[in-house]
Amino acid sequence: MEQPHPMGSPRTRPDAVGPHAGPAAEDAETAAAGRRDGRADQRRPGRGIGPEATGGTAAGDLPPVVVAGGGIVGTAVAFVLQRSVPVVLVEEGDFPGLGETRDAVGILKASVGHPVLDAFAQCTWAFAVAQHRHPRSPLRLTFARLDGHPGRAAFVDHLLLLDAMYLAARRAGLRLLTRTRVMAPVLAGDRVTGVRVARAGGGPQATRPAADRPAGHPVEGWDDVVPASALVLAPGPRPESLAMDGLPRGFASRFVPVKDVVIPFRLPATVETPPAVFTRRSLIWRFALGIEARTLLAAARLEGDWSPPSFDELVALVEDLVERFDLTGEAQLDRVRTLIDLRGPDGLPFVGAVAPWGGARGLFVAAGFGLEGLSTALGAAHAIAAAVLADLADRRLIPGR
């Protein structure tokens, strides 16, 4: 089981950090400040792009594993891998967690309804419960019924969950590059040896080859190459990041857009709303009670595109809800949200090496979580980490296991 970490982000819980939080308090404050004003990448000047980003761990001179994407999935991958090898986490945004993860409702499920996903979910669940039980962790779960089973789901501050993994990895030596986009792997033959990155806001110079630049150039706005022993792509619902060099031909087209249209229903004052999550009442509809007082969240899961429903489609969805489930209450159409993600091949996330599919060796992908990424992130991260470490051991870059 993962060890609990006493840490948290005062951004979402002002009471979460204090003297009792020990060394984690500074981390958490820095994390929160970074999220607020985008200073995250300025914390360690001169330790960003380039060979110096290699970092030091038990793996000695091994070039780092680069993880592209600092959502819950990429952060979980970095968290697991950093225990064994140096890792550089590269995030295009200002700070980890500001992609799709930021908008998550925050429902954790102990099981998701498929053996592979259930194994992934069990891992995340165990970590979150351990955090919840740790007296110094700010992460607290509100347990809920899952399809009638008590305590099998929970509502969580999902950014605190991400912070718990990120800050632990950082203490273990993780390097973070923010406002930096992974453009492509650098290949020697069919093998990843580095990663080409571009700093945000670079203008025309951002594409200037690293070899052409004068010595001592400012990093901001330039291309560069990070040496890498492997590259893990965890880009969330970003088809363009699933279409870069080194991936199998047509790889991005194997992912299907999915969306949840979430309709809040204001319930009559007389209705009790003990925390509960329902996923099995209908093929399309899922429900959550107890996240907001007197409110039922009804989510229609649809496939094929990411466009928000038209007003007419929304009304039809509400009529369907009212008729099928005999709902009493008021649909709050002004608060409807459309959540988007990709679903991977065969309805499952793609979690593993792309080499068996014709992609480059040393290139790995964790994507297509189909709106279950919070629940499944840590288990998927363990699976990717095992694949990366097996590859490095095969190449005798680290001792075999």
- Minimum CB separation of residue 209 from ligand FAD in Å reads 19
Contact 21, 7 (CB under 8 A): yes
- Minimum CB separation of residue 375 from ligand FAD in Å reads 4
- Running DSSP on this structure, what letter comes out for residue 362? T
Q: Strand pairing partners for 330?
A: 266
- Minimum CB separation of residue 197 from ligand FAD in Å reads 8
- Minimum CB separation of residue 274 from ligand FAD in Å reads 18
Pairwise CA distance, residues 210 & 382, whole Å: 34
Handedness of CA 1, 164, 390, 345 (dihedral sign): positive
Given the rule CB under 6 A, which residues bind ligand FAD?
Answer: 68-74, 90-93, 98-101, 103-107, 181-182, 234-236, 238, 241, 337, 339, 341, 369, 371-375
- Minimum CB separation of residue 369 from ligand FAD in Å reads 4
Residue 142 vs 322, nearer CB to ligand FAD: 142
Contact 185, 363 (CB under 8 A): yes
Burial readout 254-285 (b: 16 or more C-beta within 10 A, e: otherwise): bbbbbbbbbbbbebeeeeeeebbbbbeebeeb
Token pair belonging to 36: 């607020």
Residue 88 vs 398, nearer CB to ligand FAD: 88
Torsion angles phi and psi, residue 99, rounded to 5: -90, -135
Torsion angles phi and psi, residue 60, rounded to 5: 60, -120
- Minimum CB separation of residue 319 from ligand FAD in Å reads 24
Token pair belonging to 172: 């273990």
Residue 90 vs 225, nearer CB to ligand FAD: 90
Distances in whole angstroms, Cα of residue 386 to Cα of each of 64, 81, 145: 16, 9, 32
Residue 128 vs 353, nearer CB to ligand FAD: 128
The angle that helices 24-37 and 158-171 make with each other, rounded to 10 degrees, is: 120
189 conformational bin, left if phi > 0, alpha if psi -120 to 50, beta if neither: left
- Minimum CB separation of residue 82 from ligand FAD in Å reads 16
- Minimum CB separation of residue 337 from ligand FAD in Å reads 6
Token pair belonging to 125: 């669940």
- Minimum CB separation of residue 243 from ligand FAD in Å reads 10
Residue 99 vs 359, nearer CB to ligand FAD: 99
CA geometry: angle 334, 256, 282, nearest 5 deg: 60
Residue 181 vs 301, nearer CB to ligand FAD: 181
Torsion angles phi and psi, residue 214, rounded to 5: -70, 155
Query: Which helix (H) or strand (E) segment is 26 a member of?
Result: helix 24-37
Residue 63 vs 235, nearer CB to ligand FAD: 235
Contact 100, 260 (CB under 8 A): no
Residue 2 vs 372, nearer CB to ligand FAD: 372
User: How far out from the chain centre does Cα 214 lie?
Assistant: 37
Residue 17 vs 354, nearer CB to ligand FAD: 354
DSSP result, 229-272: SEEEE--SS-GGGGSSTTSPTT-GGGSEEEEEEEEEEEPPTT--
- Minimum CB separation of residue 181 from ligand FAD in Å reads 4
Residue 98 vs 160, nearer CB to ligand FAD: 98
